[in-house]
Structure 1
Amino acid sequence: MHLDRRLLQQPLSASEVYRILALFDWPSRMAEFDQAAQLSQTDNLLLKPRLPYCDVSEPVVLSVTLDSARQASFHYSQQGVECSGDVVVSEPAVITYQLLNLEDSPAGLKFVGAAFTNPFDGHIVRVEVSADGLTLQLYDPMRNTGTGKYQFLFSSEESPLLLPSPDPQVINKDIK
C-alpha cells in the first residue's frame, strides 16, 4: 500500500497523524511527518526523535539537572553520545550507571537504589550501589525475555525527600 505523505501534513496535528498511522499499523513512520502541527505537549513528544539504546557493554553516564523552575531533567550518555537510558541484553550482564553531578545538579545527589514496576519478573535480581553513591549496578541473569522497567532513587542535600527517575528499562532479547 502506498502512503501519500502530503495528505498527513498540516493542518493535521502530530496526534491526529499518529492516530491515522496507527489504523494501518504504521506508527513507526511518525518521524516522516515532522511538519505536522504541534498543538499540544503530546504532539511535541510524538515528533521528538527517539534516542538510541545504551550499550550494555559500557557504563551509562546519568546526569540530573534542575531547570529554573527546579524541575529535574534526566540525561543519559555513553562516550559523550546521548542515549535513551534503556539497555538491550542478550546474555547475562551487569548494567552499570554512573552518576555525573554537574553545576546545575541538585547538591550532593547520590543513588540510593532502584525500584521496579515488577520486582518478581526475574529481569534484574540484584542492585548494588557504590559506597559514594555515584555508581549503581543492575544484575540481569537473562533468565527470560521481555522488558523490565525500573526507576532510580536518589537522595540529595537539598531535600529530605527521595527523587525517582523516569523509568528506563532493560529489554531481554534472545539471539536466534
Structure 2
Amino acid sequence: MSTRASEIIQVVVNLENGEPVFSYQTPGGEPCTGDVTVTEASTITYQLQDNTGKGLRFSGVGFITPFDGIIDAVTVSSDGQYVQMLDMDQTAGTTKFQFVLTNSTNTLLVLSPDPEVKNNPK
C-alpha cells in the first residue's frame, strides 16, 4: 500500500535480538510500506519513532539512482527526527532509497530497508 505524499509517514525502529528492525505507519498508526506515490509537486515527510534506546537520528538519505530526477532535494531537520523530500513530479518513474541514521552508542551508521517514491505526473 502506498501512502499519499501529503501524509507524514512514521519510520518506526525497534530492536529485535539486538538489531534494528524498521517498519512504517500512517499518521493514524496503521502499518504501511513506506512507499509514496506522487501525482503533483509535493514534500514527502518521514518522522522517526526510535524505540531502540540507542539515540537514533536521521543523518541523510541514500539513493541507488541519485540522478534520475524523481526526488529534487532532501532536508533533514536539525534534531534528526524528520526527513523531507521535495518532489516536483516532473519526471515519471520510481526511485528507491535508504534512510541513513546515526546513533548515540557508537560511530557506526544504520541503514533502513528501501522504500520507494513513484512519480505519476498528470
Deviation at 1:106, TM superposition (A): 4.5
Return the alpha-carbon distance in structure 2 between the equivalents of residues 106 and 120 of structure 1.
35
Q: Which has the larger radius of gyration?
A: 1
Equivalent pair of 2:90/2:121 in contact (CA under 8 Å): no
Structure 2 runs not aligned, ≥5 long:
none
Equivalent pair of 1:106/1:156 in contact (CA under 8 Å): no
Mark the CA change 1:106 to 1:122 in structure 2 (over 3 Å): closer, same or farther: farther
TM-score by length of 2: 0.94
Instruction: Name the structure 2 match of 1:80.
Output: 29
More helix by share: 1
Identity %: 40
Equivalent pair of 1:54/1:77 in contact (CA under 8 Å): no
Determine if the alignment matches structure 1 residue 149 to structure 2 residue 91. Answer: no
Return the alpha-carbon distance in structure 1 between the equivalents of residues 111 and 3 of structure 2.
20
Deviation at 1:114, TM superposition (A): 0.3
Q: 26, 32, 38: which is aligned to 1:89?
A: 38
Aligned-CA RMSD value? 1.1
Return the alpha-carbon distance in structure 1 between the equivalents of residues 100 and 53 of structure 2.
13
Instruction: Name the structure 2 match of 1:53.
Output: 2
TM-score by length of 1: 0.66
Structure 1 runs not aligned, ≥5 long:
1-51
